[in-house]
A and B are shown apart, each in its own frame.
Chain A
């Protein structure tokens, strides 16, 4: 019997993070991050690590506490609810990638059903990378960005990262990020990771560190965890958008009444709640499926639903706020923009629908990627 509701400890973990983030005042952190001043964001990163967030994705044998996917989605729900900036899903996905590339003892701990082939190809350097970076990820001293083209073609916030990885097909390399491209979400800077020296990020940039089917399998697992984390963020974003908009609709008056008194407003907000209420269990269910053959399928279902629900929440939040919601200076617009950006990050809804159908039908239908 799987546990379908959070236990007291997991709930307390979520509440602790919520308090930590509410006390931080994330809008200022986000704006500073967007303006190229990541110090406060990095300080918050370390507080999140101290609270145990990143250790959830790092195996115990590598200095972490994981893998604990249910706790991970609980945490990412709160990170989304507070619109925390930075390569969060990327870092936990990178942890998964590195954990899978470790050879020898401890590799089994990742509980994966589909990568036990033992053929790690040229995995020695992957092993070294894992040994060097996993403990740092767990303790919050390493911010990692990761590109997994084609579904995740850019390295998010590579300029603030200590390590930038890319997996192309079955080759893992330390990436040399190119020139950043701006996003609708001002706190997201997206870096192409084409091969070649570019502005070399580290000495060994561009060099293929590991290759072979094991890398491909590890990248696939990393994509699953990244998409799951992103789905949880989206549900948290949607929840916050709904809470803030309900509050606004109760306070803003036009025609002598709170706008929330108009049925046209009420129904839109009720619809948002319905969608979010059914996206959340899909995310939770996918976390419970970690390590089972259904994991990829369940993550795709969760990411597609969470993307749609959060985007609908953002559209409604904007519409119900009217012009004020359309301004850069109004903090909620940071959430509105992030919801649209995360909708297509870690696999767009169309991508995940294609993957879902492919896994339900044993490969019929498209759906490529790692």
Chain B
């Protein structure tokens, strides 16, 4: 393993300088509110202006062709600077990789640039009331219509869909086919005729996700990703990204670990070695995740099911960081504030992007090769 980062230092310095000059002094309002969503969209535009919103993308779409290592460095600087959360994350981290692999040149040219600038913000619409972990149980349909498709049914838990512009998801286009067949991957406008959105408040009441009701929503053929009926395969290539490094980069956790150490200095009773040990452990785990990240981007083979190892690790690390912070705050731990906001966010980590129970099944069966459970 080569840990010489000197080649990326000039890039790191540029990113750091820019962030120092531009990161808002006071935190933006929560990303999960209408007001905060708008503020974060404006921030995306600013980032994009410096070509820093999607550094790893090819230049024609707004990126810089940054290497995976440069991307890791960007993320470290980004979170260390306390920069705002990424309101475009589901488009950039989930839809864009899918398009790079399965999209047509026309789709890439049309969809990616406004995604990079924050002009169009995307929501993921996979889950349904009856299809969470068991995504293949989904029932929303896409029926052929002249020039395209008509969508019907219901999606739910779509993050920030109450404020986002467009959605992407899986629909059953051949009801006669098996569970993993006859699914089609589609993009649609969230303000389409026939589409009703109902915001849902997350644990702290902020309207972080929405239910979507489709009543003959028309989608043109141009907005099908991959071949009709091949949606499962297309979707699974995005799922790997969601569980892998891109959704939750190491920089986020190393920055949080440093903030936790600062909180310890400020608030801790130095005699409380149990809390001290938890702070140390969180920092160690954040560093481990960082080093593992360098290892992952250096690999040339397919990481495959090992992304599940990653997902379990980061989601539990995030929770540990925030639980430790709240415990350090003692009676102030329940009070509204930045640590509580981060804690509420971290509580969902073991649920979304494939629950940790599902990930452990995948690790046991596909990585370790243990006998499969009958399902």
Q: Which residues of A contact B (CB under 8 A)?
A: 150-154, 181-186, 188, 190, 254-257, 259, 262, 264-265, 315, 318-319, 322-323, 326-329, 333, 336-337, 340-341, 344-345, 348-351, 353-354, 365-366
Residues of B close to A153: CB separation below 8 A: 331-332
Residues of A close to B202: CB separation below 8 A: 326-328
Contact indicator A322/B355 (Cβ below 8 Å)? yes
Tell whether B309 is near chain A: CB-to-CB under 8 Å: no
14 contacts between A and B (CB under 8 A): A153-B332, A184-B204, A254-B134, A255-B133, A264-B360, A322-B133, A323-B127, A323-B157, A328-B202, A329-B200, A341-B334, A344-B330, A350-B327, A354-B271
Contact indicator A326/B334 (Cβ below 8 Å)? no
Contact indicator A152/B272 (Cβ below 8 Å)? no
Knowing A319-B350, A326-B347, A328-B201, the reply to whether A366 touches B326 (Cβ < 8 A) is no
Q: How far is the CA of A350 from the CA of B344 in the complex (A)?
A: 21
Residues of B close to A185: CB separation below 8 A: 334
Tell whether B228 is near chain A: CB-to-CB under 8 Å: no
Interface SS majority for chain B: mixed
**Of B133, B275, B352, B375, which contacts A350 at CB under 8 A?**
B275
Q: How far is the CA of A336 from the CA of B275 in the complex (A)?
A: 23
Tell whether B99 is near chain A: CB-to-CB under 8 Å: no
Contact indicator B355/A351 (Cβ below 8 Å)? no
In the complex, given contacts A319-B356, A328-B205, A350-B330, what are 18 additional A-B residue pairs having Cβ atoms less than 8 angstroms apart? Answer: A154-B331, A181-B336, A183-B335, A184-B344, A188-B334, A264-B357, A264-B360, A319-B357, A322-B355, A323-B156, A327-B201, A337-B203, A344-B329, A350-B275, A350-B327, A353-B274, A354-B271, A366-B269
Q: Which residue of A lies closest to B319 (CB)?
A: A315
Residues of B close to A329: CB separation below 8 A: 200-201
Q: Interface digits, B341-369 against A, CB 8 Å rule (1 contact, 0 not)?
A: 00110011011100111001100000000
Q: How far is the CB of B33 from chain A (nearest CB, A)?
A: 13
Most buried by A among B200, B334, B344: B334
Q: How far is the CB of A102 from chain B (nearest CB, A)?
A: 29
Q: How far is the CB of A31 from chain B (nearest CB, A)?
A: 11
Knowing A265-B357, A337-B203, A354-B272, the reply to whether A318 touches B347 (Cβ < 8 A) is yes
Q: How far is the CA of A152 from the CA of B327 in the complex (A)?
A: 15
Contact indicator A319/B351 (Cβ below 8 Å)? yes
Q: How far is the CA of A165 from the CA of B133 in the complex (A)?
A: 50
Q: How far is the CB of A330 from chain B (nearest CB, A)?
A: 9
Contact indicator A262/B331 (Cβ below 8 Å)? no
Chain B: residues with Cβ within 8 Å of the partner, total of 44
Most buried by B among A154, A319, A336, A344: A344
Contact indicator A328/B204 (Cβ below 8 Å)? yes
Contact indicator A182/B203 (Cβ below 8 Å)? no
Contact indicator A184/B340 (Cβ below 8 Å)? yes
Residues of A close to B343: CB separation below 8 A: 184
Contact indicator B348/A348 (Cβ below 8 Å)? no
Tell whether B137 is near chain A: CB-to-CB under 8 Å: yes
Q: How far is the CA of A186 from the CA of B344 in the complex (A)?
A: 13
Residues of A close to B333: CB separation below 8 A: 344, 348
Knowing A190-B335, A351-B330, the reply to whether A366 touches B351 (Cβ < 8 A) is no
Q: How far is the CB of A210 from chain B (nearest CB, A)?
A: 24
Contact indicator A255/B375 (Cβ below 8 Å)? yes
Q: Which residue of A lies closest to B352 (CB)?
A: A323
Contact indicator B271/A327 (Cβ below 8 Å)? no
Q: How far is the CB of B267 from chain A (nearest CB, A)?
A: 11
Q: How far is the CA of A353 from the CA of B272 in the complex (A)?
A: 10
Tell whether B182 is near chain A: CB-to-CB under 8 Å: no
Residues of B close to A182: CB separation below 8 A: 335-336
Q: Which residue of B lies closest to A323 (CB)?
A: B157
Most buried by B among A152, A185, A322, A337: A322
Contact indicator A322/B351 (Cβ below 8 Å)? yes
Contact indicator A264/B133 (Cβ below 8 Å)? no
Residues of B close to A344: CB separation below 8 A: 326-327, 329-331, 333-334
Q: How far is the CA of A326 from the CA of B352 in the complex (A)?
A: 11
Q: Interface digits, B82-113 against A, CB 8 Å rule (1 contact, 0 not)?
A: 00000000000000000000000000000000
Contact indicator A350/B200 (Cβ below 8 Å)? no
Closest 5 CB pairs of A and B: A328-B201, A254-B134, A264-B357, A341-B334, A182-B336
Q: How far is the CA of A43 from the CA of B156 in the complex (A)?
A: 38
Q: How far is the CA of A206 from the CA of B202 in the complex (A)?
A: 39
Residues of B close to A184: CB separation below 8 A: 203-204, 334, 336, 340, 343-344
Residues of A close to B356: CB separation below 8 A: 319
Q: How far is the CA of A112 from the CA of B348 in the complex (A)?
A: 46
Q: Which residue of B lies closest to A321 (CB)?
A: B351
Knowing A255-B134, A326-B202, the reply to whether A348 touches B334 (Cβ < 8 A) is no
Q: Which residue of A lies closest to B156 (CB)?
A: A323
Q: Which residue of A lies closest to B127 (CB)?
A: A323
Q: How far is the CB of A306 from chain B (nearest CB, A)?
A: 16
Most buried by B among A188, A254, A262, A315: A254
Q: How far is the CA of A180 from the CA of B351 in the complex (A)?
A: 32
Tell whether B148 is near chain A: CB-to-CB under 8 Å: no
Contact indicator A181/B335 (Cβ below 8 Å)? yes
Q: How far is the CA of A337 from the CA of B134 in the complex (A)?
A: 27
Residues of A close to B156: CB separation below 8 A: 323
Q: Interface digits, B14-46 against A, CB 8 Å rule (1 contact, 0 not)?
A: 000000000000000000000000000000000
